[in-house]
Amino acid sequence: MFKNFFNKKKSFAVNIFPGDQEISISRGETLLAGALRSGLAWPHKCQVGSCGRCRCKILEGKIRPEIDFNYVLDPVDVASGFVLACQSTAKTDIKVSVDLTHKRK
């Protein structure tokens, strides 16, 4: 019963599509923070969950939402897997789709 509790993973693998790049994020670290720490040009602006600029789609795996995404994202998109990277921490290894070639508006 306590096996999982004591053997908690300290970090998770994040595969980013398109491009199939892999980064690692620590437990409790947001997807955006991990990506920026790894030098990726992940789109972002406010970093507090209010602008929606860091949105991405989870293709596989589980995240823990730190806030209610419905304020910023369309509920239909949320239901289909869109999340805010600055407000998502990983619960498992994940595969995610995001456009890293964006131009800052």
d(CA 83, CA 85): 6
Please report which helix (H) or strand (E) contains residue 63, including its range: strand 63-65
Could you give the string, one character per residue 5-44, with x where binding to another protein holds by CB under 8 A and - elsewhere? ----------------------------------------
d(CA 23, CA 5): 24
d(CA 65, CA 73): 13
- The nearer residue to another protein, 48 or 59, going by C-beta atoms, is 48
Residue 35 burial (CB count, 10 A): 27
Interaction with another protein in 39-58: which residues (CB under 8 A)?
45-51
Residue 71 interacting partner from ligand FES, another protein, none (CB closer than 5 to 8 Å by kind): another protein
- The residue ranges that bind another protein (CB under 8 A) are 45-51, 66-68, 70-72, 74-75, 86-87, 104-105
